């Protein structure tokens, strides 16, 4: 690999109006192909003029990715692609997009993945550049749509688990330093689902990588999360257990009838599902069965199992929390679908048992879970919060999760946050980590409750203005119009109606 020979010196020009000087590139974009970085091959360094970026098929939208500007609205940018090989079996693809110096805000954003990753979200990259950031993303070391990449490839699994994101971050910052003449003054992580887990991994394993980490609906403690997915699949696939669409509607309506008004507003959203004790036995069929009006005993037991935590049958110990009351309408498209979630079955097939023909109905929630825990050795799991080093250097962690998430039980994030406040102590925790639960919201966003908010803007204000978020106004969109706003409150506070005014407007609620 050729050594990087471009000058690394900050070039300044003075602009009118008494403004501070603007940094000009210290190196041309094209010269970055010769940068000498360990186990890094830059495969492209191309200056893309404003409005001329062409999207490519590999770009997909990551869960929770911010709204992005159209590609034709992007400024001039230096687009760098590279392949990283920290191990003999690694092939980590990364993209780093750097607006030219006049458009750069001096900051760096890295964006996360969803599921088993395998793709780079060009839309998320575009969203960051549109805000003036230099942005990076990675496929985490493979291009397969599922988990089969890990079959017989432990190094690739390590790349997916945590190494790819850290390596990408290190290389991206080096590229920024070379191109601009100095590295970023602040660095942020932004991800949801797998991206949320990646953020927690960064905070705990590599606490110096980011100043602020946004971790939505984190797929933390993957061994137990993907155990719970099979727990629900087994319950939903027992004989006579499957619900029809009409029965899901009936079940959801019964839950709302029982608990919607607990927060003082009847709006189709349960503010705090942990305070809802609805029992599906109340709508069990008595005598003749009307499929749309009631549930059979087998269906009642399945629903109870889905609400309940996955447990070790021998010890009774909780493995992973259950789904919340209020989330029923998304079960059929999530954990209780016609087939188990492939992310879960792939994990057990390719990572734990190395048996592509493994049958999900055979999972032993005692011995098999112990086997998975022993195999992982903390590579993918974020179970116990270890945020002390991240907090000591002033890092900020913003957690958010929808109470109606059909894929990742939201109470697991609550448990993580609760454990973090205990381990950090109340004062340090208040300064370093905040959790915002989103009533009625689904996985990362969407659902009946307001879930759209500017995550990066909240983090910027916290880190740069030293204003910790005391509430976040979120919106709900129907079609293209906002039809409801509501404050999201720092856990354990919830939004309470003031008693007067439009219940669809955030100003008529307070966090208590």
Q: Which residues are catalytic?
A: 193, 405, 443
Q: Annotate 335-356 with DSSP letters as a single string.
A: TTSSS--HHHHHIIIIIIS--T
Beta strands in 217-358 (DSSP E): 310-311, 318-320
Interacting residues of 292 by C-beta distance below 8 A, sequence separation 6+: 244, 246, 247, 250
Beta strands in 280-373 (DSSP E): 310-311, 318-320
CA 51 to chain centre: 30
Residue 56 is classified by DSSP as -
Selection from 77, 66, 62 nearest residue 459 by Cα:
66
How many CA atoms, within 13 angstroms, populate the side-chain half-sphere of residue 67?
5
CB of 138 closer than 8 Å to CB of 165: yes
How many CA atoms, within 13 angstroms, populate the side-chain half-sphere of residue 216?
30
CB of 360 closer than 8 Å to CB of 172: no
Selection from 312, 305, 314 nearest residue 227 by Cα:
312
In what helix (H) or strand (E) does residue 138 lie, and over which residues does it extend? strand 134-138
Find residue 23's DSSP bridge partners.
Answer: 12
Alpha-carbon distance 462 to 431, whole Å?
Answer: 10
Task: Look up tokens 């607990």; give the residue.
Answer: 262
How many CA atoms, within 13 angstroms, populate the side-chain half-sphere of residue 466?
1
């Amino acid at each position: 690999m050729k050594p990087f020979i471009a000058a690394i010196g900050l070039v300044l020009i003075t602009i009118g109006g008494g403004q501070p000087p603007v940094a000009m590139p210290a190196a041309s974009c094209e010269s970055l192909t010769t940068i000498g970085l360990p186990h890094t091959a830059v495969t492209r360094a191309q200056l893309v003029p404003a409005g001329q970026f062409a999207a490519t098929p590999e770009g997909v939208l990551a869960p929770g990715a911010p709204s992005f500007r159209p590609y034709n609205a992007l400024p001039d940018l230096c687009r760098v692609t590279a392949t990283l090989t920290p191990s003999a079996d690694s092939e980590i693809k990364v993209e780093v997009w750097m607006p030219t110096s006049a458009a750069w805000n001096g900051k760096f954003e890295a964006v996360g993945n969803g599921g088993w990753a395998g793709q780079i979200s060009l839309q998320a990259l575009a969203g960051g550049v549109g805000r003036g950031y230099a942005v990076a993303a990675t496929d985490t070391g493979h291009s397969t749509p599922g988990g089969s990449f890990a079959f017989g490839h432990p190094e690739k699994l390590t790349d997916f688990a945590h190494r790819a994101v850290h390596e990408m971050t290190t290389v991206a910052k080096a590229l920024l330093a070379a191109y601009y003449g100095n590295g970023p003054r602040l660095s942020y992580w932004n991800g949801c689902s797998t991206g949320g887990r990646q953020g927690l991994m960064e905070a705990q394993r590599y606490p110096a990588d980011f100043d602020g980490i946004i971790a939505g609906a984190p797929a933390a403690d993957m061994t137990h999360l993907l155990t719970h997915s099979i727990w629900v699949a087994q319950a939903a696939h027992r004989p006579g257990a499957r619900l029809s669409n009409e029965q899901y509607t009936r079940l959801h309506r019964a839950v709302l009838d029982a608990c919607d008004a607990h927060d003082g507003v009847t709006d189709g959203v349960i503010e705090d599902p942990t305070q809802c004790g609805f029992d599906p036995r109340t709508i069990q069929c008595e005598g003749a069965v009307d499929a749309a009006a009631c549930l059979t005993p087998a269906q009642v037991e399945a629903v109870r199992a889905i609400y309940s935590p996955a447990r070790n049958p021998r010890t009774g110990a909780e493995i992973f929390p259950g789904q919340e009351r209020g989330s029923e309408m998304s079960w059929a498209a999530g954990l209780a679908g016609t087939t188990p979630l492939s992310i879960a079955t792939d994990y057990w097939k390719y990572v734990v048992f190395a048996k592509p023909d493994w049958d999900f109905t055979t999972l032993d929630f005692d011995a098999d879970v112990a086997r998975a825990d022993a195999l992982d050795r903390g590579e993918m799991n974020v179970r116990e919060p270890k945020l002390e080093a991240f907090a000591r250097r002033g890092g900020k962690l913003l957690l958010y999760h929808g109470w109606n998430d059909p894929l990742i039980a939201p109470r697991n994030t609550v448990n993580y946050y609760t454990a973090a406040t205990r381990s950090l102590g109340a004062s340090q925790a208040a300064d370093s980590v905040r959790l915002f639960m989103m009533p009625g919201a689904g996985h990362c966003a969407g659902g009946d409750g307001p879930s759209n908010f500017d995550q990066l803007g909240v983090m910027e204000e916290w880190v740069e203005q030293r204003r910790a978020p005391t509430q976040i106004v979120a919106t709900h969109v129907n079609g293209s119009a906002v039809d409801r706003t509501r404050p999201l409150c720092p856990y354990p506070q919830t939004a309470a109606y003031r008693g007067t005014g439009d219940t669809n407007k955030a100003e008529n609620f307070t966090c208590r």
